[in-house]
Amino acid sequence: MKRVRIFLFILMTTAVSSAFAVSQPSIHFEVSFKEPQAHYVEITMKIENIQRDFIDVKMPVWTPGSYLVREYAKNVEGLVAFSGDHAPLATEKINKNTWRINSGKKSALTVQYRVYGFEVSVRTNFIDDSHAFLSPAGTFLYVDGFLELPVDVTILPYVSWSKISTGLDPVDGKPGTYHATDFDILFDSPIEVGNQDVFTFEAAGVLHEIAMVGGGNYDSDRLKKDCASIVEEATRIFGVNPNKRYVFIVHNYQSGGGGLEHLNSTVLGASRNGYQNERSYVGFLGLVAHEYFHLWHVKRLRPIELGPFDYDVENYTTSLWIMEGFTAYFDNLLLRRCGFLSENSYLQALGSDINTIENRAGNQVQSAASASFDAWIKYYRPDENSANTSISYYNKGALLALMLDLKILAATNGEKRLDDVLKAAYETFYVQQKRGFREQELQTLIEQIAGTSVSDIFDAAYTPGSLDYNRYLKAVGYEVIDYNEGRELPDLGITTSASDGRVLVTGVSRGTGAWDGGINVRDEIIAINGERLDANGKELNRVLQTAAIGDALQVLVARDGKIRELTITLTKDTRGSFGIIPLVNATPEQQRLGKIWIGGR
């Protein structure tokens, strides 16, 4: 009797489990291309077992890693919905990125729509007759309240295309079908469809695929070798590589750049004929290093504000100076460690960051933390006055990372550095606690490892103004010098460009004679002190070379079709020319720490 009861219980449990499995909600997309030459992709979304009076389907307004509301829903058109028996369902758009489907508790429904894509970038769709790049956040709708659902995507390439490249997991036995465990994974997995040149390499125990789109003069063997070196060096920092497979999607243009990180892949922009130029090639490797470093630092180790995501609105954080800035520090450091940059070239790269920050008037206005928080409204929307009001959290964050690295090195006699902090943070917050960190928690962790306070550097991240680089550099035998120190030259305070034989003002610097005297961006400079300017600006340069600080210039401009004469008093050029050099008479201990910091191979 007991056996029968047990058997009946097992049978009933199995039946209930099977029924439950059948009734689980599921979503499947089919992607096809009827008119790629017109820049459209066709999407069919099949929703099963979400039985409600109505279902809201939504399009994200932004994509992780690119902090700007891009309103992807603007590219959606022709959205219709049907029940499982193909009966039309009433649909209405209830806000900018949400469509309400009156599903009437139907267990199965189909949504069809098309998306226009013709914007060249690493974060937006681009479709033409040669290939399609799909940014998932701008392509796939999700059911409101069901972001955690697993999803399958079947891709039907255009008739003349033969390859699909994506970090999504392929589904066994279903060619062209890929699986994501939830929509966060789907939205973080870009898709390239076309005839891209695909080659692979293995590094750090991970299979890597490089998909080269648009041709180019690259050497695939050299790329595989050099990318593998970067992968191994980056993995060495964190001690583990969390991927089994990783995909580089590289779009090669006549002139291109930029990148966007993802959990299991990245999208890079490059100049197709720049691979044989050593400087351009090393620059590309720097982009590879930057985006690859992100697979740990931001995609897994992250501020608590950056995940789980709200795809409807901005997700604010003050910590982009840490996430992007530290990554911008390590990309060049990885190149140095791999031997792609000489010591001098590496120091020049750091010097370039210093010049970018210190010669920007906005450095006295905006802090690195504020730049992070306001990325949504400022960094991706620069205007003619941005240089006077803002800085880049990339550059300044990299310099703050430099200061942290050097302070940790000095405080621990070279036993620890920023590498150790990131490895410990990754293990603590991502692996063990499975959550994002708060800035104070990261600062506390750094201080535990360094054995000293780093509040000076974290305070500097929240304070506009110049950084005290030499306080940290001298400890490792280097210093920043200003080659312009003591120079007394006049400055008008404008930047210009030549257009149609005219000299046009493109920027006016805060605190200069042009700023005080009222020169505007888009003014045409016609004459100075009665001398007609030539189109290439040589006359302007001649005037400045023969003038002195305090001289008053009569500047004739055309503004909105009217002629105006302005009196501009020349001020001192305060721009520096900064460089990092070895410290004269550095002690053996300083030299030892310097070799640890910048040793390379």
Task: Kindly state the DSSP code that residue 294 receives in the 8-state scheme.
Answer: T
Place of tokens 């880049």: 392
Sign of the Cα pseudo-torsion (425, 426, 431, 433, in order):
positive
What is the average per-residue pLDDT within 416-440? 98
Nearest by Cα to 86 from 65, 66, 111: 111
Question: Does pLDDT of 136 surpass 60?
Answer: yes
What was the pLDDT predicted at 16? 41
What was the pLDDT predicted at 556? 96
Half-sphere exposure of 262 (CA within 13 A, CB side): 28
Band of the pLDDT at 85, cuts 50, 70, 90?
confident
**What is the number of helices (H) and of strands (E) in the chain?**
16, 31
Q: Record the tokens describing residue 510, joined without a space.
A: 């805060």
By the 8 A CB rule, do 267 and 252 touch?
Answer: no
Nearest by Cα to 336 from 326, 344, 328: 344
Angle at 132 between CA 299 and CA 136, to 5 degrees: 35
Q: Record the tokens describing residue 483, joined without a space.
A: 């080659």
What is the average per-residue pLDDT within 561-590? 97
Task: Kindly state the DSSP code that residue 431 receives in the 8-state scheme.
Answer: I
Q: Is 383 helix (H, G, I), strand (E, B) or coil?
A: coil
Question: Does pLDDT of 14 surpass 60?
Answer: no
Q: Record the tokens describing residue 168, joined without a space.
A: 């999504």
Band of the pLDDT at 2, cuts 50, 70, 90?
very low
Q: Is 296 helix (H, G, I), strand (E, B) or coil?
A: coil
Question: Does pLDDT of 15 surpass 60?
Answer: no
What was the pLDDT predicted at 31? 98
Angle at 69 between CA 59 and CA 292, to 5 degrees: 90
For the residues of 56-108, what is the DSSP string, one character each?
EEE--SSBTTB-S---GGGGEEEEEEEETTS-EE-EEEEETTEEEE--TT-SE
What was the pLDDT predicted at 484? 96
Nearest by Cα to 425 from 405, 445, 452: 445
CA distances from 54 to 28, 81, 526, 585 (A): 19, 12, 64, 76
Question: Does pLDDT of 8 surpass 80?
Answer: no
Helix (H) or strand (E) holding 153: strand 151-155
What is the average per-residue pLDDT within 295-311? 97
Q: How far apart are CA 248 and CA 209, in angstroms?
A: 6
Question: Does pLDDT of 7 surpass 50?
Answer: no
Q: How far apart are CA 369 and CA 440, in angstroms?
A: 13
Band of the pLDDT at 22, cuts 50, 70, 90?
low
Q: How far apart are CA 425 and CA 456, in angstroms?
A: 20
Cβ atoms < 10 Å from Cβ of 432: 9
Sign of the Cα pseudo-torsion (455, 460, 466, 470, in order):
positive
Average pLDDT in the chain? 94
What's the start-to-end Cα distance of the chain, in Å? 76
Band of the pLDDT at 5, cuts 50, 70, 90?
very low
The per-residue pLDDT for range 215-231, each reduced to its tens digit, is 999 999 999 999 999 99
What was the pLDDT predicted at 600? 60
Place of tokens 């009734």: 23
Band of the pLDDT at 117, cuts 50, 70, 90?
very high
The per-residue pLDDT for range 53-70, each reduced to its tens digit, is 999 999 999 999 999 999
What was the pLDDT predicted at 536? 74
Question: Does pLDDT of 6 surpass 90?
Answer: no
What was the pLDDT predicted at 18? 45
Indicate the pairing of strand 108-116 with strand 40-48: antiparallel
By the 8 A CB rule, do 27 and 143 touch?
Answer: yes
What is the average per-residue pLDDT within 530-538? 81
Nearest by Cα to 405 from 146, 139, 593, 143: 593
Beta-carbon contacts of residue 4 (< 8 Å; ≥ 6 apart): none
% pLDDT > 70, the chain: 96
Band of the pLDDT at 370, cuts 50, 70, 90?
very high
What was the pLDDT predicted at 542? 84
Note the pTM of the prediction, 2 decimals: 0.94
Question: Does pLDDT of 521 surpass 60?
Answer: yes
The per-residue pLDDT for range 252-302, each reduced to its tens digit, is 999 999 999 999 999 999 999 999 999 999 999 999 999 999 999 999 999
Q: Record the tokens describing residue 570, joined without a space.
A: 């020349």
Question: Does pLDDT of 1 surpass 60?
Answer: no
3-state helix, strand, coil in the chain (%, to 5): 35, 25, 40
Indicate the pairing of strand 169-170 with strand 142-143: unpaired
For the residues of 213-241, what is the DSSP string, one character each?
ES--S--HHHHHHHHHHHHHHHHHHHS--
The per-residue pLDDT for range 145-161, each reduced to its tens digit, is 999 999 999 999 999 99
What was the pLDDT predicted at 9? 40
Half-sphere exposure of 528 (CA within 13 A, CB side): 24
Q: How far apart are CA 40 and CA 75, in angstroms?
A: 9
What was the pLDDT predicted at 538? 75
- In this structure, what are the phi and psi dihedrals at residue 580, rounded to the nearest 5 degrees? -110, 125
Q: How far apart are CA 385 and CA 552, in angstroms?
A: 24
Range in 94-103, 116-125, 422-431, 535-544 with the lowest mean pLDDT: 535-544
For the residues of 529-578, what is the DSSP string, one character each?
TTEEPPTTSHHHHHHHHH--TT-EEEEEEEETTEEEEEEEE-EE-----E
